[in-house]
Chain A
Amino acid sequence: MLKRISALALAGLTALAMAGCGGGGGSTSAQSGGGGDSSITMGFSQVGAESGWRTANTKSVQESAKEAGITLKFSDAQQKQENQIKAIRSYIQQKVDIIAFSPVVESGWDTVLKEAKDAKIPVILTDRAVDSKDTTLYKTFLGSDFVEEGKKAGNWLVEEFKDTKDTVNIVELQGTTGSAPANDRKSGFQEVIGADPKFKIVASQTGDFTRAKGKEVMEAFLKSTPDIDVLYAHNDDMGLGAIEAIEGAGKVPGKDIKIVTVDAVKDGMQALADGKINYIVECSPLLGPQLMDLAKKVVKNETVPARVITEETAFDQEQAKTALPNRKY
């Protein structure tokens, strides 16, 4: 008796669940059909909240979506690819108009992007690229050009030392080994300074993009290489750590050792304005407005370039003083 009741109950539950599925599917399709003409719904999957840069990136996307009148469905992947794939699948099920995401890693996206394509939902990559061979899987990639950032840093150096005949000894603090920004900022920089043999990288080591490591590595550099003219750090934070090491060694950062970094976060800009850093190449997280423009164009079926570079600049000490009060991150 009991068995039969439970079997009945189970059958009932199953039927209910199936009905729920059907109902859900019906209602979402009705929703997207109704809202398709005016308002756009965007599903955005963020990497996480691992740095101030990333937080500023998230804020920019959220704020500019509100301004552009785009409904944003936001999810935080907490640095995990499987979370991002889950989020993208749920966006596909919810039939959003467009999906945007910053891939945690470069590979392994083909299947889920194919699903989005089959569901006719366009995808925009932000900030980081994927290595899929099939470039029709996404509409465009909006983000910084890290190689270009390295080149900008190199160009400044060439300009700064154009009157010098002697060897210029450079030490480099690299980002996390193997990460795209570290690889590209290194190669872009080398490409520019490699043209002139007077520029010599005497030591290069990873500082993991952190202040603590930047300081520790710089301390070691200061002792093992007595004659350092220039420090090139792949981000502001490592540069800020290195500044403390340089001061501890009784040298003046920005004068005895010239410093060029990448990112332009608020603390870095402060140091630049204070004369402790000489030049910062911007790597802007504020790509929200550009993303919303692209999204509108893509939804209207207008053609967009396959690669859009974030609007970025670079700062010297004077420019930093004027830009600092408005710095958001």
Chain B
Amino acid sequence: MKRLLWPVVVLLLLLVVNLVFTQNFFSIQMRDGHLYGSLIDILRFGAPLILVSLGMTLVIATGGIDLSVGSVVAIAGALACLQISEDASLFTAVALALALSVLLGAWNGVLVAVVGIQPIIATLILMVAGRGLAQLITDGQIITVNSASYKVIGGGYWLTVPFSIILVLVVLAITAFLTRRLALGLLIESVGGNAEASRLAGIRSRGIIIMVYAFAALCAGVAGLMISSNVSSADGNNAGLWIELDAILAVVIGGTSLSGGRFSLGGTVLGALIIQTLTTTIYSIGVPPETTLLFKALVVTAVCLIQSASFRAKVFGRRGRAAPPSPAAPEEKVRVTA
């Protein structure tokens, strides 16, 4: 729990900023039979990012990285909207889009685990080609759909709660159960620590790696459905653009090491919420658009610095065990990475 302390502090700080600068930020009302308020917005618009980040966490835990999730977001949304615009049933559209996502993820996994291409290159292929595929599906146009049932996925409500939030909770619960209650999480961490050693120890590294990439793509596919359903249209060019970078950032803020091994699902969710809260804060307090990116960068830099134990030790003086160089160094590293 201690390692989640700093992300929590940062999130609280952002909320306090809003408490001061934005009126009614914390008010949650019922409007038209559903919950309405800035905090709900953060969860709702953050939902796709949380999903993509969850998948990314497991990929990064195996020592890999997946740059193609943004393209998968676009492809899934495009295919689903195309199907619906051609009068396919909601179930067919969703099933086809998700099946294609898993297939694309498995392709990434095979490139990494079987062919042996470095993850950043292997997924770069789909990142570039996937946008093209999405545009091919949409014919370069924005496909607008008029389906009330499709709209529920990203923009609808169930028992007054936004459906996308429920979806995220379900995926989070399943992922946490599989990785934390079963041995799967241990196997993933083991592969991330040393794939070859894990294989010699009797773990099927290849299978695990292909599985996490497929899972990441599945998460991205669901996120793609959410994003396109939220605006009832598929935009092959812009849907999920740069979401892979936000997702990697969320994973890092959450305290998962990019070198693989340990991972923290809770940290990732916090990281994604921090990013979305920051975005909403920028809109609410009226940061001019010209300086938005700079403002974001400054906050993110501050977040990363404050999470580094060695940085804190240098700036705030020597406290506790974090200070002395050699003996305490390994422990310090664990605190940074874990």
Contact = CB atoms under 8 A, between A and B. Distances in A.
Interface of A: 49-52, 54-55, 174, 177-178, 203-206, 208-212, 215-217, 219-221, 223-224, 226, 237, 240-241, 244, 248-250, 267
A248 B289 contact: no
Given A52-B141, A55-B141, A220-B41, A212 B289 contact: no
Interface residues of chain B: helix, strand, loop or mixed (majority): mixed
Interface stretch (B169-177, B200-208, B225-233, B319-327): B225-233
Contacts of B284: 220, 223-224
A226 B231 contact: no
A212 B142 CA distance: 12
Contact of B144 (A174, A203, A220, A267): A267
B36 interface: yes
Contact of A212 (B23, B235, B286, B288): B235
Given A174-B289, A211-B235, A249-B31, A219 B41 contact: yes
A221 B239 CA distance: 22
B292 A241 contact: no
A223 B37 contact: yes
Contact of B238 (A208, A221, A249): A208
Given A52-B142, A204-B289, A249-B31, A220 B280 contact: yes
Contact of A205 (B24, B37, B140, B283): B283
Given A205-B283, A223-B284, 20 more contacts: A52-B141, A54-B140, A177-B289, A178-B290, A203-B286, A204-B286, A205-B292, A206-B289, A208-B238, A211-B235, A215-B230, A216-B41, A217-B283, A220-B280, A220-B284, A223-B37, A240-B233, A244-B155, A248-B36, A249-B31
B296 to A, nearest CB: 13
B214 to A, nearest CB: 26
B141 A220 contact: no
Nearest to A267: B144
Contacts of B288: 204
Interface of B: 22-25, 31-32, 36-38, 41, 45, 135, 139-142, 144, 155, 227, 230-233, 235, 237-239, 279-280, 282-286, 288-290, 292
A219 B288 CA distance: 17
B232 A244 contact: yes
A209 B237 CA distance: 11
A27 B227 CA distance: 54
Contacts of B227: 212
Contact of A244 (B32, B231, B238): B231
Nearest to A54: B140
Given A174-B289, A224-B283, A212 B230 contact: yes
Nearest to A79: B237
Contacts of B32: 248, 250
Contacts of A216: 41, 45, 279, 283
A50 B31 contact: no
Contacts of A177: 289-290, 292
A57 to B, nearest CB: 11
Contacts of A178: 290
Nearest to B132: A78
Nearest to A204: B289
A52 B140 contact: yes
A49 to B, nearest CB: 4
B74 to A, nearest CB: 11
Contacts of B23: 224, 226
B45 A219 contact: yes
What are the 10 closest A-B residue pairs judged by CB atoms, nearest first? A220-B283, A206-B289, A211-B231, A224-B284, A49-B140, A210-B238, A52-B141, A250-B32, A250-B31, A177-B289
Contacts of A248: 32, 36, 155
Contacts of B25: 223-224
Contact of A206 (B37, B41, B139, B292): B292
Nearest to B279: A216
A115 B238 CA distance: 36
A270 to B, nearest CB: 8
A49 B233 CA distance: 18
Nearest to A216: B45
A221 B38 CA distance: 10
B170 to A, nearest CB: 23
Nearest to A221: B283
A205 B23 CA distance: 18
11 contacts: A52-B140, A177-B289, A205-B283, A205-B286, A212-B231, A220-B41, A224-B22, A226-B24, A249-B31, A249-B36, A267-B142
